[in-house]
């Protein structure tokens, strides 16, 4: 509601996030024309850190945020709702409420302009918990429409990525190591089901902006910051 109804820009972070430098000059500079900027992960984003800015009612970013909230609340309060979206699922249901996998389903739906519950809902009924689906020995995951949809999205989402060149190479002096950037990759975000062209964009933040920790990259960057006296 803050982002969509009140026009507030929101930087969402998990409680275990550490900031080594101020990200706002980059978010308001290089990424000023992008509505959602998220940390990278498999298959697309990590919900632990993302920034929503200039979201407008009716655009694809607004659809993503509303749909993410809707799915989380739906499966938290009503596990049997799984059956509405995954017809072959059998009780007891797992009813996944992991916000990261649900966010990936929602984002990939918006990018490809299709409705998908294939990863976060359908696949988790197959691989998690003592669900009725897992107990059904005649069930074949690879024969389902959801499995086919995941394969489609695995090809279609990368195809939708756009590479935009910057007018001049940007040097991000506010961040440790002052990385340089000469282009920006982004994905179109649709209001799913609408024939209108996408009016919002998603960018996956490079590791020097949002990075998972611990990792070899983060360890190297921390050593660089320590040497430069910027920590």
Q: What is the pLDDT of residues 15-58, one digit of tens each?
A: 888 887 788 988 998 899 999 999 999 899 999 999 999 999 99
Confidence at 10, pLDDT banded by 50, 70, 90? very high
**Which pLDDT value is given to residue 195?**
93
For residue 5 the two structure tokens come to 């109804």
Neighbours of 37 (CB within 10 A): 25
- Token pair in block for residue 131: 């669900």
In this prediction, residue 66 carries a pLDDT of: 95
In this prediction, residues 159-185 reach a mean pLDDT of 72
Report DSSP state, residue 120. Answer: I
User: What is the pLDDT confidence band of residue 217, given thresholds at 50, 70 and 90?
Assistant: low
- Cα–Cα–Cα angle for 57, 60, 66, nearest 5°? 65
In three-state secondary structure terms, 135 is: helix
- Taking alpha carbons only, the member of 159, 176, 183, 161 closest to residue 31 is 183
50: left (phi over 0), alpha (psi -120 to 50) or beta: beta
Strand order in the sheet with 180-189: 10-13, 45-52, 36-40, 200-204, 180-189, 162-171
pLDDT for the residue 166: 72
pLDDT confidence of residue 128: 86
Joined together, the tokens standing for residue 153 give 């999205």
**Among the ranges given (46-55, 129-138, 183-192), the one the predictor scored with the smallest mean pLDDT:** 129-138
- Average pLDDT for 68-77: 96
The CA distance from 144 to 159, in Å, is: 23
Q: Which pTM was predicted?
A: 0.89
- The full length of the chain comes to 231
Q: Which helix (H) or strand (E) holds 75?
A: helix 60-77
Of 113 and 216, the structure prediction assigns the larger pLDDT to: 113
């Amino acid at each position: 509601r803050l982002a969509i109804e009140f026009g507030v820009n929101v930087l969402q972070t998990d409680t275990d996030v550490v900031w080594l430098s101020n990200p706002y000059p980059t978010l308001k500079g290089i990424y000023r024309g992008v509505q959602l900027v998220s940390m990278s992960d498999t298959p697309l984003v990590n919900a632990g850190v993302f920034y929503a800015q200039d979201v407008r009612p009716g655009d694809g970013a607004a659809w993503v945020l509303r749909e993410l909230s809707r799915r989380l609340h739906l499966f938290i309060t009503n596990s049997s709702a799984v059956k509405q979206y995954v017809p072959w699922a059998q009780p007891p249901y797992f009813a996944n409420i992991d916000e990261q996998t649900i966010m990936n389903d929602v984002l990939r739906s918006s990018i490809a302009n299709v409705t998908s519950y294939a990863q976060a809902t359908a696949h988790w009924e197959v691989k998690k918990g003592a669900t009725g689906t897992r107990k059904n020995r005649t069930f074949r995951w690879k024969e389902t429409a959801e499995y086919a949809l995941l394969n489609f999205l695995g090809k279609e989402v990368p195809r939708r990525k756009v590479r935009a060149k910057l007018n001049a190479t940007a040097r991000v002096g506010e961040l440790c190591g002052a990385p340089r950037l000469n282009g920006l990759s982004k994905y179109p975000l649709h209001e799913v089901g609408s024939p209108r062209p996408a009016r919002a964009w998603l960018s996956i933040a490079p590791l020097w902006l949002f990075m998972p920790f611990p990792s070899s990259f983060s360890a190297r960057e921390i050593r660089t910051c320590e040497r430069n006296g910027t920590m």
